[in-house]
Amino acid sequence: MEILWFLIALGMLAAVIGPYVMRRRAGLRQVAPGTPDAADPADYGFVRQELLDIRVPGRDQDLMDVLELVQRTQDWRAASQLLAGTGKDGEARWQRVQAFAGAAAFELAQQPGVGGRWLQTWRAEAPKDAGGAQVHAEFLVQQAWRASGGVGADDHRIILEEARTVCREAALLAPGDPVPYIVELAVARGLGYPREEFEALWAKIIDRAPSHMGAHLAALHYWCEKWHGSRELADAFTHAAAARAPQGSLLAALPLFAVYEHLPEVNLVQGFYQSAVVTRAVEGALFAVHSARADDPMLAHVRHLLVFFLVRSERWAEAMDQLRHVDGYVGALPWSHSGDPAAEYAVYRALAVAGYEANGGNPATLPH
């Protein structure tokens, strides 16, 4: 519990030093066919930039209602009840744990020393609550990555080690639940688990949820972080998962996430986004999206990344098709890698609209 008090003090220090600005993976080429200023996204019913929700990738009304209640009352019980009623074997529980942890972290960043107290109270009043332990572990992971960008490497490691401890407490509280092990994948990445230790952790996840998309994305980050420069290992991991994906699984989209993770800081190759590697990955992701259940919680994650690549590839109509499904929510890659996710998303959306209209499209021709 002491680490929560440490993080409150850390938040106060960070407020003095300045906000953490996340590294952008690739600069946006500020060129588009047509004139973006002449194409108004509002004509398509898109949400205004200032109203975009940066907390989640897609609509989850139960989560939104509970988040608003918890943040308004600072009472954790509704969050506990929602997680208790969320199945262990799907993607929704993992996303909701991330959302609650992210909300607490955001509160702390906005109100150093005060924000996020409901999580501390949750852990103090219900130490055996599995949901609370999972949210606490993910909160620590998110705080560790913030610390890695501004306060110090020692703090980063200390928080990750505490997160590992809480992950293992959470695993004991919820046998059969893959979430504590999925959270630990980020710890493995940050602490640099040796390959044998990582694979033992991964085996526990596969035993519990072999087709868990969120787990595979977290594991991909480990391969990209641990084995610098080894794109082959990351590609092998994603292509193997895609090949064994069951019908309707979004795992077929994993290679696109691997391409994104290995995007060059500066792209000097003309036509890179029309290359065979990118095209194959995009087509695989489109196939996965068309085959997936409409209520798959990870579907929005894939659609958001498709928007990025389809705009870069100047496939305007297809980008617009993805936008109409996800607009309003931007808590996903690639926007979350930006210091201002809503603004980053809005730029790509404006480019998609401009390109669509420059090629003869208009609000009446966009399917609904």
Q: Which CATH number fits domain 57-212: 1.10.10.10, 1.25.40.10, 1.20.59.10, 1.20.1280.260?
A: 1.25.40.10
Please give the structure tokens belonging to residue 213: 């998309």
Q: What is the mean pLDDT of residues 203-232?
A: 85
The average confidence (pLDDT) of the chain is 86
Is the confidence at residue 217, as pLDDT, over 90?
Answer: yes
Q: What is the pLDDT of residue 99?
A: 93
Peptide bond into 334 cis (omega under 30): yes
Q: Which pLDDT band holds residue 146 (cuts at 50, 70, 90)?
A: confident
Decide: 355 and 34 in contact? Cβ < 8 Å.
yes
Q: Which of 298, 295, 325 is nearest to 310 (CA)?
A: 325
Q: What is the pLDDT of residue 153?
A: 64
Q: What is the pLDDT of residue 5?
A: 46
Q: Which pLDDT band holds residue 125 (cuts at 50, 70, 90)?
A: very high
Q: What is the mean pLDDT of residues 310-320?
A: 96
In the chain, the amino acid numbered 290 is H
Q: What is the pLDDT of residue 327?
A: 97
Separation of alpha carbons 319 and 199, rounded Å: 37
- Buried residues in 90-119 as b, exposed as e (16+ CB within 10 A): bbbbbbbbbbbbbbbbbbbbeebeebbbbb
- Helix, coil or strand: residue 329: strand
Is the confidence at residue 270, as pLDDT, over 50?
Answer: yes
How many angstroms from the chain centroid is the CA of residue 290? 21
Cα–Cα distance list, 136 to 15, 273, 302 (Å): 22, 39, 27
Decide: 231 and 262 in contact? Cβ < 8 Å.
yes
Q: Which pLDDT band holds residue 15 (cuts at 50, 70, 90)?
A: very low
Of residues 5 and 73, more confidently modeled:
73
The structure's pTM equals: 0.85
Q: What is the pLDDT of residue 4?
A: 53
Decide: 262 and 224 in contact? Cβ < 8 Å.
yes
Separation of alpha carbons 20 and 144, rounded Å: 12
> Cβ of 143: how many Cβ atoms within 10 Å?
30
Q: What is the pLDDT of residue 13?
A: 37
Where do the structural domains in the chain lie, given as residue ranges? 27-52+228-368, 57-212
Q: What is the mean pLDDT of residues 59-88?
A: 95
Beta bridge partners of 53: 329
Is the confidence at residue 32, as pLDDT, over 50?
Answer: no
Q: What is the pLDDT of residue 225?
A: 73
Q: What is the pLDDT of residue 115?
A: 86
Separation of alpha carbons 148 and 114, rounded Å: 22
Q: What is the mean pLDDT of residues 106-130?
A: 93
Is the confidence at residue 262, as pLDDT, over 80?
Answer: yes
Separation of alpha carbons 42 and 71, rounded Å: 30
Is the confidence at residue 39, as pLDDT, over 90?
Answer: no
Is the confidence at residue 368, as pLDDT, over 90?
Answer: no
Dihedral pair phi/psi, residue 306, rounded to 5°: -60, -40
Q: What is the mean pLDDT of residues 229-252?
A: 85
Please give the structure tokens belonging to residue 251: 């795992």
Q: Which pLDDT band holds residue 247 (cuts at 50, 70, 90)?
A: confident
How many angstroms from the chain centroid is the CA of residue 307? 15
- Report the interhelical angle of 2-17 vs 92-110 (nearest 10°): 60
Q: What is the pLDDT of residue 267?
A: 65
Q: What is the pLDDT of residue 18?
A: 38
- Helix, coil or strand: residue 53: strand
Q: What is the mean pLDDT of residues 214-239?
A: 81
Is the confidence at residue 37, as pLDDT, over 60?
Answer: no
Separation of alpha carbons 305 and 348, rounded Å: 11
Q: What is the pLDDT of residue 10?
A: 43
In the chain, the amino acid numbered 266 is V
Q: 7-21, 118-132, 180-194: which range is least confident on average?
A: 7-21
Of residues 233 and 272, more confidently modeled:
272
